[in-house]
Structure 1
Amino acid sequence: MNILLVDIGNTTADFRIWNKETNEIKKIIRPETKDASWRSSSALFKHFQENKIRVDKIIYVSVVPEWNDIIRAFANKLKIDNFNLRSDFDIDKSFFEVDDLSKLGADFISNFYGAIDSYGIENGAIVSMGTASTIAVIENKKFKGTIISPGLKNSLDCLISSAVLLQNNTYEKSNVPYGKNTVDAINIGSFNAHYTMLSSMVKKLGFDFAIFTGGNSIDFKEEIISDGFIFDEELIFKGLIKFNK
């Protein structure tokens, strides 16, 4: 059985197929959520038909309400069932010690279940580096709360958009300790320092165990592993799979 797993964030909609028999997760497409050429069930249906991609049902997590309608319409075109993590599954409220579970992002919930199921996390942090960079605090297998900061690329975009002379450069993670020119200095401050902020916050919380995930975490895979943390870019999808078991 092939199950389409979809993670709809504020920046991208990540489509992957999980083969239940082999337990393999395969990347399919990852359009930007604001890309008009993909923001319709017809566009998705056309892509899947032309590429002969067959799926038996859809499980998705979304923080963009408009895309919920798109996924439901897409499932109708495929004539298969679709399940929204937020509304179609029973979430054990006893795991979440937050003020209002209904206002907690569905991505936090899926990452938490992925961490419980795949790593048996008891005490530690789940760090997601996406549109926002977030830290979920886990104590005694309970979701205690979160820390949210502007994401790496959003912070960088905010900086360079306000200064014309900074805009025609390429910015990326740096391998030097400090800059001797503006580009290197921004690279270190925007990329390297962002990871340092997150890893330092994990340690300040008193945790030695942390799972790093999210699209921007890929740039720091080497540092994450070197620091003794876990890198798992598929964590949110493992959470969706947990709900299918």
Structure 2
Amino acid sequence: MMLLAIEQGNTNTLFGVHDGTEWIAQWRSATDSSRTADEYAVWLAQLLSMNGLQLSGLNSCIISSVVPQSIFNLRNLSRRYLHVEPLVIGENAELGIPIRIDKPSEAGADRLVNAIGAHVVYPGTLIVIDSGTATTFDVIAEDGGFEGGVIAPGINLSMEALHQAAAKLPRVAIQKPQRVLGKDTVGAMQSGVFWGYIALIEGLISRLKAEWGAPMTVVATGGVASLFHGATMAIDHFDPDLTIRGLLEIHRRNSAAA
């Protein structure tokens, strides 16, 4: 098996190649909903060749996307250049987990994939935090069921909104300030966003645990999750491979069923 796994968020798109034993290549690109299947193929073929691989060597594909207008082109990439019908989360991929929310069709593909990626590694009930364009907090039951969650604006989105809405506030890089009290505008903004998000994370985790009423393990993933590493004791594990592991597990489940 040579699997092409595609995980598309609002900001970045991850492409990974798995040879049946391990991930042998991974690349990221900026998400662009107007990029065609042919453009993807040219870009991907160049990166594959740099790793001694070819498009013709890929014989399966799985796609998770939160950008509906991009799915058509990603599906065509698989059909036209890999000559396989892709598994698409939310369409033809069986997940094998109960989705216990009022409207299961509204659950984001990325959140469901994360749920599976976390459940196959971490036992018990979980809170999965994904820090991206949005910051999501999802509860995964002990049996792997998706119980629902919380969606908040992402840290980068908040910083950009602050800059756009206030004429005198500059655009600043997000980093961990050495102290909470800012002594200039940039320091005050960095502190407000960073420590504000730590407070958001700790507060929501505390409330979710209190509402659930039983022990829960907290796992964080996503592009900016590493920023919080060491800044809070509320997160038990930082796992950057959660989503791609979930895609691999879904592919295995569907292959076994077939």
TM > 0.5 between the two?
A: yes
Aligned to 2:5: 5
Matching of residue 237 in structure 1 with residue 244 in structure 2: yes
Query: Secondary structure at 2:128's aligned position in 1?
Result: strand
How many aligned residue pairs are there? Answer: 238
Aligned to 1:123: 125
Query: Secondary structure at 1:90's aligned position in 2?
Result: coil
| Stretches of structure 1 lacking an aligned partner (at least 5 in a row) | none
CA deviation after TM superposition for structure 1 residue 227, in Å: 4.6
Aligned to 1:133: 135
Aligned mates of 2:179, 2:134 — CA distance in 1: 25
Q: Which range is displaced more, 157-166 or 233-242? A: 157-166
The answer to whether the 8 Å contact 1:17/1:28 transfers is: no
CA deviation after TM superposition for structure 1 residue 212, in Å: 0.2
Residue deviations 1:114-160 (CA, integer Å, cap 9, x gap): 1111223x212001111111100233433221111111111111111
Aligned mates of 1:30, 1:164 — CA distance in 2: 31
Aligned to 1:217: 225
Matching of residue 69 in structure 1 with residue 61 in structure 2: no
Aligned to 1:47: 43
CA deviation after TM superposition for structure 1 residue 111, in Å: 0.6
Q: Which range is displaced more, 183-192 or 84-93? A: 84-93
Question: Alpha carbon RMSD of aligned pairs, Å?
Answer: 2.1
* Residue type of the alignment partner of 2:77: F
Residue deviations 1:164-203 (CA, integer Å, cap 9, x gap): 3323544433222221111111101112321331133112
| Stretches of structure 2 lacking an aligned partner (at least 5 in a row) | 210-214, 253-258
CA deviation after TM superposition for structure 1 residue 205, in Å: 2.0
* Residue type of the alignment partner of 2:75: R
Aligned mates of 1:80, 1:119 — CA distance in 2: 35
Query: Secondary structure at 2:90's aligned position in 1?
Result: helix
Aligned to 2:167: 164
The one of 83, 99, 103 aligned to 1:80: 83
Q: Which range is displaced more, 174-183 or 52-61? A: 52-61
Matching of residue 204 in structure 1 with residue 207 in structure 2: yes
Q: Percent of counterpart pairs with the same letter?
A: 24
The answer to whether the 8 Å contact 1:134/1:149 transfers is: yes
